[in-house]
Amino acid sequence: MSGRKALIVAAALFMIFGLNVVLGSMGVRQFLGDLGELWMVILSTVFFVVAILQEERKTKMENNENMAAEG
């Protein structure tokens, strides 16, 4: 999974969590329970970290290629 895709998944999971919180604050029945919310936050965080690490790796590889081409 590319960094961009992982970031999209992280954002989608966090939006589901946010929607559930907003619905709960308005008095509407939530579709996720406490454990469901916990899993949404955990999975969102994991996918976010994966995305950041992949983008960092990509940047380092590009920098190494540029340095090799210059040197």
Q: Flag whether pLDDT at 67 surpasses 90.
A: no
What would the pLDDT profile of 8-27 be if each residue is shown by its tens digit?
999 999 999 999 999 999 99
Which residue did the predictor score with more confidence, 68 or 50? 50
Confidence of residue 70 (pLDDT cuts 50, 70, 90): confident
Q: Into how many domains does the chain fold?
A: 1
From the list 39, 35, 50, 33, the residue with the least C-alpha distance to 13 is: 39
For 60, the domain range is: 3-70
CA distance 15 to 28: 17
